[in-house]
Structure 1
């Protein structure tokens, strides 16, 4: 592979951008925080990226130790990409970027793609403790692993097992939380988020 481009600056921020500053790289990490993904799944959930660019970014990220690729055993026999512990360390970076970009989100444009699990990061910011949370939106269901120290942080579909809490809300409310206009706590308190379940997280949210 050709050598990685560098800013050639003796600065940790510049060194970090050498690895993750290319277009699409951080969004690939966002997708892989949901767990191992096949190339076709990544391409489907990154609308706008070309196949050539996605393949190139994945090769760069594997070389730089952010992702790995492994072959699934039969009958799957497909390759999947997954984030490494070093790549997973970018979760706080994505959280900070999401917070910083709240004011830029605005109303959804007609050309904006959306996937239900893209709301996982802003919802995670409003949850404390540990546990499995299932979320229901009009666009679909996804689940969050609050306080997870390793493994997937969130994923598509219902929770894989008994959830500690389930949140049901509409996309308007979720977008307001994503824009920083509404906290999850206030959304629960005002009835815009329905909380069900008997786990510690569910009880804590209902008691706010």
Structure 2
């Protein structure tokens, strides 16, 4: 693994840290564990990572035996899949995420939210009902979002969910509008959806058959059920 730190210890923790402690590695493992297998999909889960760095890190993971690369043939997409050793890291990656949700003061992270990643995270956690129309369109509007990133559309069609950053021109079934920080608080479980709606911080429009069950089908972040510790105990803070 290129530029891997060496700690010079026989301790298994030391050896594991040499592999897993490199920047971006845990986030790449998260994306692969979430089911992303193609380069572009993995990249959407780490939007601030350069494509050259992503390519190198995938090679590194393959080199150490956590990842295999499979090509279906000429002109076909390449798939990156975790090996048994890579899949066994699932509980570890989740426990690290749960620890961060419980113990770290995450308010500073709300100051610079990447809405592309937010929508990608929403996409993979949706728990939509089965009785949807042939095409179901969710429109998310963040009036205070970055320039060119205030509107996002999730289009559900034939069992696939596509994230669009340009209006696809379809009729909208459900419209959700909120400030970026407020929606992120809801998504992460730091603010209840009901409270956000009651306080006018989040607005939902659409037929009642879809909107009345939003807390169930929106899914929320995979760690949203983990309660945050009281502020006085959050001794670790992000910068």
From the superposition, tell whether residues 140 and 115 of structure 1 become closer, same or farther in structure 2 (CA, over 3 Å): farther
Pick closer, same or farther for the CA change 1:57–1:174 going to 2, 3 Å: same
Correspondences of 1:1-208 after superposition (within 5 Å): 4-73=4-73, 77-102=76-101, 103-106=104-107, 108-113=110-115, 114-118=117-121, 133-134=127-128, 138=140, 157=161, 172=182, 175-176=185-186, 178=188, 181=190, 193-195=214-216
Shift of 1:20: 1.0
Q: Distance in 1 between matches of 2:29 and 2:10?
A: 25
Larger RCO: 1 or 2 (CA < 8 Å, sep 6+): 2
Note closer, same or farther for the CA distance 1:79–1:176 as it changes in structure 2 (3 Å cut).
same
Shift of 1:183: 8.4
Equivalent position of 2:204 in the other structure: none
Change (3 A) 1:18 1:69: same
**TM-score normalised according to structure 1 size:** 0.57
| Alpha-carbon separation, structure 2, partners of 1:63 and 1:73 | 22
Whether the 8 Å contact between 1:70 and 1:79 is mirrored in structure 2 is: yes
* RMSD of equivalent CA atoms: 4.0
Instruction: Check whether the contact 2:123–2:154 (CA below 8 A) recurs between aligned residues.
Output: no
SS at match of 1:48: coil
- The secondary structure found in structure 1 opposite 2:80 is strand
Q: Counterpart in 2 of 1:161?
A: none
Larger Rg: 2
How many pairs are equivalent?
161
- Long gaps (5+) in structure 1: 124-131, 143-155, 159-168, 197-208
Q: Tell me by how many angstroms 1:111 deviates.
A: 4.9
Structure 2 residues not aligned, in runs of 5+ = 130-137, 141-151, 163-175, 199-211, 218-239
Secondary structure in structure 2 of the residue aligned to 1:10: coil
Instruction: Return the offset for 1:34.
Output: 2.7
State how far apart, in whole Å, the 2-side matches of 1:183 and 1:89 are: 33
What CA deviation, in whole Å up to 9, does each residue of 1:18-71 have, x standing for no partner? 111101111111111232422233223311212222121111100111111101
Separation in 2, partners of 1:11, 1:118? 35
**Superimposed CA distance per residue, residues 152-176 of structure 1 (whole angstroms, 9 cap, x where no aligned partner):** xxxx838xxxxxxxxxx98846634
Q: Give the whole-Å Cα distance in 2 for the aligned partners of 1:49 and 1:28.
A: 10
Closer, same or farther in 2 for the Cα pair 1:48/1:3, shift >3 Å?
closer
Contact conserved, 2:123 with 2:161, CA < 8 A, in 1? no
The answer to whether the 8 Å contact 1:116/1:137 transfers is no
User: What SS does structure 2 have at the residue aligned with 1:195?
Assistant: helix
